[in-house]
Amino acid sequence: MEGLKVSDANLMVCVHPSMSRRVSHAVLHQLSSLLFKFNESFDGVVLAYDVGFVDEAAKILPGILPYFGVKLKAKMLLFSPKPNMLIEGKVVKLTQESLHVIVLGFASAIITREDIREEFAYKTKNGNGVYCSENQKHHTLKVGTMIRFMVKSMDEEILHIYGTLLKDNTGSISWLDNESTGGPITDRSKKRSSENHGMTEQQAIKDIRHADDQLKKAKKRRTVEQP
C-alpha cells in the first residue's frame, strides 16, 4: 500500500532532572506521545518506532530548568498519504450518498457519491446496502469489503481522509487482484499480487505490532540494566 514508509531519524529528547534515574522510561514515554498523531517534522502519522541510544552521555540544555538532552537514533514507521496515492481500507458503513472506510485500524475515510464511478449502482440486498458494478457483476462493495481507493486530500488534525473511486484501478481488492491475475485467486496469486502492490495494510499492521513488541523488550531490558 502506498503512503507507508520507514524513516531513519536522529533525535534529541529533553528529559527533566527528576527522571535522571529513569532515563529510558522518560524517553520512551515522550516517544509514545507521538504515536497515531500527525507530526510535521516527519511529515506523517507515526505508527511505530524502534529506538536506540547513541551514547550514555547527556548534554545539559540551557534554560530556566536544567533539562538534559539524550541523543537517539530511531526508525519510524510513518503513514503519509498524499493526493493520487492508492491506499487500502475496510468499508464500515455504506449509504446512497457515501462510503465510509477505516484505514490501518485508526484513520477514517469517506468517499462521496460524486467520487464513486457511475458503473456502481446502490442497491439493497437482504436489508443491507451494497454498491454493484453494472459492468462487472462480481465486483461489489459492501460492509466488510477491503477496498483500494485514491487519496484526494487528508485532514491532518483529525486524521480524516477524503478519497475517490473514479479510477478503474480502484474498488474491491479481491476483485482487482483477481482481474490482474486473469483467473481465480489462489494462494500463489495472492502472494504475487501482494508483492506487486507493495506494502499491504496487513503487512503494515504486522510491522507495527513487531515494532511494538521489540520496543517492549528493549524497555524491559533497559529497566533491568538500570542501577
The residues that bridge with 107 in the sheet, in sequence order, are 103
* CA–CA gap between residue 115 and residue 99 (Å, rounded): 10
Give the burial class of 179: count Cβ atoms within 10 A of its Cβ; 0-12 exposed, 13-18 middle, 19 or more buried.
middle
**Per the domain annotation, does 64 fall within a domain?**
yes
* CA–CA gap between residue 161 and residue 186 (Å, rounded): 32
Q: What is the DSSP letter of 58?
A: -
**Per the domain annotation, does 198 fall within a domain?**
no
Q: Quick: pLDDT tens for 178-206.
A: 877 665 544 444 444 444 444 555 555 55
Per-residue pLDDT tens digits of the chain, which is 227 residues long: 899 999 898 888 888 777 777 878 888 888 899 999 999 989 999 999 888 765 555 555 565 567 777 888 889 999 999 999 999 999 999 999 999 999 999 999 999 999 999 999 999 988 899 999 999 989 999 999 999 999 999 999 999 999 999 999 999 999 998 877 665 544 444 444 444 444 555 555 555 555 555 555 544 544 444 44
The total number of structural domains in the chain stands at 2
**Per the domain annotation, does 46 fall within a domain?**
yes
DSSP letters of 206-221? HHHHHHHHHHHHHHHH
- 118 and 145 fall within a common domain: yes
Give the burial class of 46: count Cβ atoms within 10 A of its Cβ; 0-12 exposed, 13-18 middle, 19 or more buried.
buried
Q: How high is the pLDDT of residue 186?
A: 42
**Per the domain annotation, does 201 fall within a domain?**
no
- 43 and 92 fall within a common domain: no
pTM for this predicted structure:
0.72
**Per the domain annotation, does 190 fall within a domain?**
no
What is the span of the domain harbouring residue 26?
A: 4-80
The residues that bridge with 149 in the sheet, in sequence order, are 87
Domain containing residue 29: CATH number: 3.30.1490
Measure Cα distances from 142 to 56, 79, 90, 95, 107 in Å: 54, 25, 9, 10, 19
Domain containing residue 122: CATH number: 2.40.50.140
Q: How far is CA 37 from the centre of its chain?
A: 11
* The last residue of a domain, from among 28, 63, 80: 80
Cβ atoms within 10 Å of 57's Cβ, excluding its own: 9
* The last residue of a domain, from among 32, 54, 80: 80
**Per the domain annotation, does 38 fall within a domain?**
yes
- 31 and 62 fall within a common domain: yes
* CA–CA gap between residue 183 and residue 97 (Å, rounded): 33
Residue 30, C-alpha cell as written in the block: 515522550
* The last residue of a domain, from among 80, 113, 142: 80
**Per the domain annotation, does 209 fall within a domain?**
no
- 60 and 112 fall within a common domain: no
